Each structure stands twice: as C-alpha cells, then as structure tokens.
Structure 1
C-alpha cells in the first residue's frame, strides 16, 4: 500500500514539476549563484514547483456507451416479448401492444436506426423506461386488477384502462419516432446547404 502510494507520487505531476525546479536549483548552484545555501535553494525550488504543478486529472467513471445501452434495452425487449406472450390479454389491447413492441424493435434495430437513436440520450432513456417499466407495469396491473374485478364487478373495466395506457405509450412512441425523423431531416438540410454554399464559393 505504502509502496504503491510512493510509486504514484514519483509519477505524479507534483514530483515531476518539483524535480524540474530542483534541477534548476542545482544549475544555479553549479553557476555559483546559490552559494552556501544551495540545499535550501534546491528544496525551495522543488517545493515551489510541486505547488504550482497542475492538479492530477481524475478520469471519469467508465459508463456504458450508447451502443451498449441499446444492446441491454434490446435484450430487455426480448424478455418483455416473452413475458407478454404468457399473459392473456383482450384482443384489442393485444393488437395494440404488438404494434407498440414492433415500433420499439424497429427503433432498436442494430443498423443505422439504432445509431440515430444512440445520438439522443433522452430518446434512449424514454425507450428504456417504456420497455423496462411502463409496458410491464401496464400488463401487470391489468392482470391484478382483472382478478379483483371478478370478485367485485362494477366500475371502469381493467381492459379499458389497459387500452388507454397503451394508447398513451403509442402516442409517445410516435412522437419519439417523429423527433428522430426530424433530426435526420435537419441533418439532410444542413448538408444540402453546405454543398450549395461550397458550390457558390
């Protein structure tokens, strides 16, 4: 432990800057400037160099790259599909949910759509939240509420709530897709403007 700290200090910027300034002090000593006080001069210059050395840069933690995040969400979508396949849903909700999951799968396609998605952290977060939290919660609460409704019928049906929830998620997915499409359209327009400007110059 002590040895590793000592080695770390030897390689640190403080020691390197201090050593450089200390060598300057030795040079002054050889030139006859420091005189009898040369140890104080060398030590003082070393200390001054260590003080003015730039601070050590602590590297940021190695967070997941966007592509790695999408790989994880893609795997979670596969597990979500398996889960949904085991649950009995009303036909209308089942169809709507199938379409929604197909949209998620298209956005997560390993090709260029995923590259566009990976460039938008908010979109990645929204999609991950939908796959990992929103859709499973919709299906699970429907299942639970349906059981209680059989015991105490009346009130708004769980099927209606499920359809409303899936409609909201579908609208959210449409907005997400439209935003990504708009981003690509702006990129195309920017490139067109660049080429036209280059052609005029």
Structure 2
C-alpha cells in the first residue's frame, strides 16, 4: 500500500525524520574521508636481509670470472669493507648508543658512525676509480695493439 507507514522512509521518526536524519547526513559531510591504507614497506629486518643477500650475489659471479691482479686486490678490499668494516661500524654504533643513554653528555655515537661510513665510502670510491683507470688503460692498450696490427 502506497503511503502506508511500513513503506515510508524513516517512518519510525514520523514527520520528524529530517530532524533525526539531518545530523547524520551533516556528520557524513563534515567527517574526513576514509584514508587509504599506508604503503606496505618492508621492515628493517627484511631490508637488512635483502642487503645481505645482495652482498652474497657478487661472490658467486666473481668466483666464475678470471680477474686481473688489480681487480683481485679490489675484490679483497671490497670484501673486507662488506664483511668486516661495515658490520663492525654498525655493531659498535648500536652497542655504544645503548651505553650513551646511561651516561649522557658524551659525544654522540652517530658522529663516529657517520665518520666511519664516510671513510668507507671514500675507500670504495678510490677503489672504483683505480679499477676504472686500470680498465681504461687496458682498453687503450688493446686499441693500440689493434691499430698496430692492422697497419
């Protein structure tokens, strides 16, 4: 039956339904929209695991390549940075940071970590530069050999 109480919207509120429904509608307009979920970034542990895995990948590759002596020395230096120097720098930072909380007023361990990472970066950059220079000389030598051979 059209017009019966069972079929009218907000029939329980009777003629006052705008007064009852109005605040709900206004609240929906004033309330902030639903936020999208935050991006699912990997945890620090997962990122460290990925870095450790990445450091392991070159070892298999380098084991299959016959490297010249200068590059072998470079692999040794890089290996020392990755396997010894970098973990030691981070570990000493973590341990010192804990103790620094108990004895405030000392030089922040972050400064030492930053300095150590800067030194390691500079060492890696020097290594990369030396290897690049060695490869440039090797390429130039090969070019001269081909030019002399041809004529």
Q: TM-score, normalised by structure 1?
A: 0.43
Match of 1:194 in 2: 145
Checking the alignment, whether the CA contact within 8 Å between 1:142 and 1:162 is kept in structure 2 is yes
Q: Higher Cα Rg: structure 1 or 2?
A: 2
Aligned structure 1 segments of 4 or more residues deviating by more than 3 angstroms: 81-84, 104-109, 114-119
CA gap 1:197/1:119 in 2 versus in 1, 3 angstroms: same
Shift of 1:137: 0.5
Shift of 1:177: 0.9
Match of 1:184 in 2: 135
Shift of 1:155: 2.4
**In structure 1, how many angstroms separate the alpha carbons of the residues matched to 2:46 and 2:100?**
22
Which whole-Å deviations, capped at 9, do the CAs of 1:4-34 have from their partners, x for residues lacking one? xxxxxxxxxxxxxxxxxxxxxxxxxxxxxxx
Q: 119, 128, 143: which one pairs with 2:94?
A: 143
**In structure 2, how many angstroms separate the alpha carbons of the residues matched to 1:106 and 1:147?**
33
Give runs of aligned pairs for residues 1-201 of structure 1, distance below 5 A: 85=48, 110=61, 116=67, 120-200=71-151
Q: TM-score, normalised by structure 2?
A: 0.56
Match of 2:34 in 1: none
Shift of 1:109: 8.2
**In structure 1, how many angstroms separate the alpha carbons of the residues matched to 2:56 and 2:136?**
22
Shift of 1:116: 4.8
Structure 2 unaligned residues grouped into runs of 5+: 1-43
Shift of 1:143: 0.6
CA gap 1:155/1:163 in 2 versus in 1, 3 angstroms: same
Shift of 1:178: 1.0
**In structure 2, how many angstroms separate the alpha carbons of the residues matched to 1:83 and 1:146?**
22
Shift of 1:107: 6.7
CA gap 1:189/1:199 in 2 versus in 1, 3 angstroms: same
Q: How many residues align?
A: 104
**In structure 1, how many angstroms separate the alpha carbons of the residues matched to 2:82 and 2:68?**
15
Alignment RMSD (CA, Å): 3.4
